[in-house]
Amino acid sequence: MSDYYQFGWSLTLAGVWTGRLVLFLGLLGGALLVRRRPALATSGVVMTPAMLMGMTSFFAFYFVSADEHIRWLAAMSMVLVLELFVLFPNRVVCTVGVAAYAIVGTLICVSLNISETTPLRMTILAELLLIPALSGWFAAKRVESTRRREFMALEQAEAEIDRRTVLETQLKNQARTDPLTGACNRRAYAAAAEREMRTARLLAQPLSFVMLDLDHFKRVHDTFGHAAGDAALVVTANLCREVLRESDIFGRLGGEEFLFVLPNTDRHESQALAETLRSRLASADVVSGPHRFRLTATLSVAEFQTSDQDLDDVLRRADATLYEGKNAGRDRVQAA
C-alpha cells in the first residue's frame, strides 16, 4: 500500500512489486532449503546471497523515489544494517561483508540521487551508518560467543550422559555376572531359570539342566597355586560358551561348579551337549605361568518335571546325580 501511495498506478509500481515478488520467492526458496539442511543457515552459502539480494533490491528505491523520501530511505538503511547482524543467522565475517556493501551502496545511492549533498553531509551519513554496523558486529560476536559456550556445554553434557550410560551398563553387567568367568551369578541365572521353567510348564516344552563340577580341583590349587585354579576356571568358562547355544543360560554355582539351563531341550539332546563339553575339556590345555596341565569334569543332566516347584528342586536332583557320577569314577556324564 505504501508503494501505491508513493508511485500510483505506473510502470514504476509494477517494477517495484515485481522486485518484491522476486525477493520474496528467493527468500522462500532459501528458507525451504535451510529447513531441509539446517547447517546451511550459518554456513554463509544461502544467507549471504539472500542478504545481498535484499539490499540490492532496497537500493532500487533510491532511483525511483522522490527527493523527500530519499532521506527516509537513508535512515531505513541504518536500521537494515543493524538487522543484518541481529535478525539473520549467518557467519559474522559474511555479515560484515554484506554490511560494508550496504554502507557503500547507500552512500553511492544518496550521492547520485540528492543534488545538495556535501562532503561533510556524506561523512556524517557514513558515521551514522557505521554506528549500527559496529553495534551489530559487537552483538553478533556476543551471540556467537554465547552459542559457542552453549555448544561446548551441550557437548560436555552429552559426553557425560554417554559416560554415565556406559557406567550404568557396566554396573548392570557386574551385578549379573561372575567377575572371573563372566558367567551369570546366582541372582541372574536363578531369575532366568525360573522364567524358563514357567515357559516350559505353560507351553509343555522340554527343559533340561546340566551341572558341571571340575574333578580334583583342590589338587590343582595345592599343586600349581591359586592363579592356576583361576586359569582353569576361565578356560572352562570359555569352552562352555563355545559349546552352548545363544539361547542357553550359563551360570556359576560357586567354586568349581557351573550350571547350564537349556530351553526347549530334552534329556537326550542335553546329554549329547554335555558329552561334547566333557570331551573338549578333557583335551584342552590349561596354561598358567610355567605350568601346563589338563582337567576333567563330571556332568549331570536333569530334565525339568512338572512336579518341580522351583529351581532348588531341580538343583537337588542334579546335585544327587552329580555325586553318583563322582562315585562312579568321574570324567563322565551322568543322567538322572
Domain boundaries, the chain: 2-153, 186-335
Cell 523515489 appears where? 65
pLDDT at 56: 86
Distances (CA, A) of 199 to 30, 156, 205: 59, 45, 8
Question: What residues act catalytically?
Answer: 256
Determine what percent of the chain falls in helix, strand and coil, rounding each to the nearest 5. 70, 10, 20
Asked if 321 contacts 301 with a C-beta cutoff of 8 angstroms, the reply is yes
DSSP of 96-136? HHHHHHHHHHHHHHHHHH-TT--HHHHHHHHHHHHHHHHHH
pLDDT at 16 (0 to 100): 67
Q: Please, which residues have CB within 8 angstroms of residue 114's CB and are 6 or more apart in sequence?
A: 67, 70, 71
| pLDDT value for 139 | 82
Q: What is the model's pLDDT at position 2?
A: 65
Spatial distance between the Cα atoms of 88 and 86, rounded to a whole number of angstroms: 6
Give the Cα separation of 239 and 284 in Å (integer). 9
Backbone φ/ψ region at 182: left (φ over 0), alpha (ψ -120 to 50), beta = left
Closest CA to 276 of 229, 210, 323: 210
User: Residue 153: its pLDDT value, please?
Assistant: 80
Per CATH, the number for 186-335 is 3.30.70.270
pLDDT at position 49: 85
pLDDT at 303: 94
- Residue 200 grid cell: 516350559
| SS3 at position 295 | coil
* SS3 call for 333: strand
Which of helix, strand or coil describes residue 265? Answer: coil
User: Tens-digit pLDDT profile for the chain (336 aa)?
Assistant: 666 666 667 776 777 677 777 767 777 777 777 778 777 666 777 788 888 888 888 888 788 777 777 777 888 888 888 888 887 777 888 888 999 999 999 899 888 887 777 888 888 888 888 888 888 888 888 877 777 777 778 778 888 888 888 888 777 766 688 889 999 998 899 999 999 999 999 999 999 999 999 999 999 988 999 999 999 999 999 999 999 999 999 999 988 999 999 999 999 999 999 999 999 999 999 999 899 999 999 999 999 998 888 999 999 999 999 999 999 999 999 997
Q: What is the pLDDT of residue 324?
A: 93
